[in-house]
Amino acid sequence: MKYLDLLNYYEKNLIIKPQDVYFWGNEKTIRSQLSRWAKFGKLIELRKGYYLLPQKLRKFPPLFYIANVIYMPSYISLQSALSFYNLIPEAVYSITSVTTRTTYEINNKVGNFIYRKIKNDLFFDYVSININDYPVFIAKPEKALLDTVYIDHVEEKSLRLQNSDLLNKDKLEKLLKNYPKWVKKNVEEIL
């Protein structure tokens, strides 16, 4: 494969994924070629087997979209979602997501991506939104709050919530039925 072929194939917005190499020929040769291009700055390695064309060649997809693609299944939650919905005043520099897989952290030239494990039966109540024409899976505001309290064992003093009137209290009550009682207690103290 030639670099120009790669540019033409991925001109829209796609991230090069490990499964893509099966369509281009000899898997070992293609993986080696991609790695070499990343070494010379022609590609950005997001994580092993995942690549992105440099920004000077095309528009970058949103970081939330990248986070969804490079570790699946996952959805944006915790501090990133709370910040997105303007529920916390702090700036968030890492993209935080929830996954049913192992807790994982990815640091690359694009950003810092943190994935926190949650039980399968709590992996729900997220939506697909459109950010710059890219589909992004993100927790609804109430679920982002519950994920934060549950996963980070957040108590009243350690979470500065703002605009809590944006939260649907009835929905929060319904969702809390899926969580341990201590989560409900902590959420009540926070609100």
Q: Could you report the per-residue pLDDT of 22-43, keeping only the tens digit for each?
A: 777 788 888 899 999 999 999 9
**Neighbouring residues of 22: CB distance < 8 A, sequence distance ≥ 6:** none
Same domain? 113 vs 20: no
Strand, coil or helix: 17: coil
* Averaged pLDDT, 74-102: 97
| pLDDT at res. 127 | 98
- One domain for residues 130 and 84: yes
| pLDDT at res. 114 | 98
pTM metric for this prediction:
0.91
For residue range 46-82, list pLDDT tens digits in order: 999 999 988 665 677 899 999 999 999 999 999 999 9
Average pLDDT, the chain: 91
- 25's CB contacts (< 8 A; 6+ apart) are 1
Number of domains forming the structure of the chain: 2
Range of the domain at 166: 63-190
Residues 179 and 111 in one domain: yes
With a pLDDT cut of 70, the percent of the chain lying above it is: 95
> Does 125 share its domain with 86?
yes
Dihedral sign, CA of 152, 154, 159, 165? positive
The identity of residue 98, as a single letter, is V
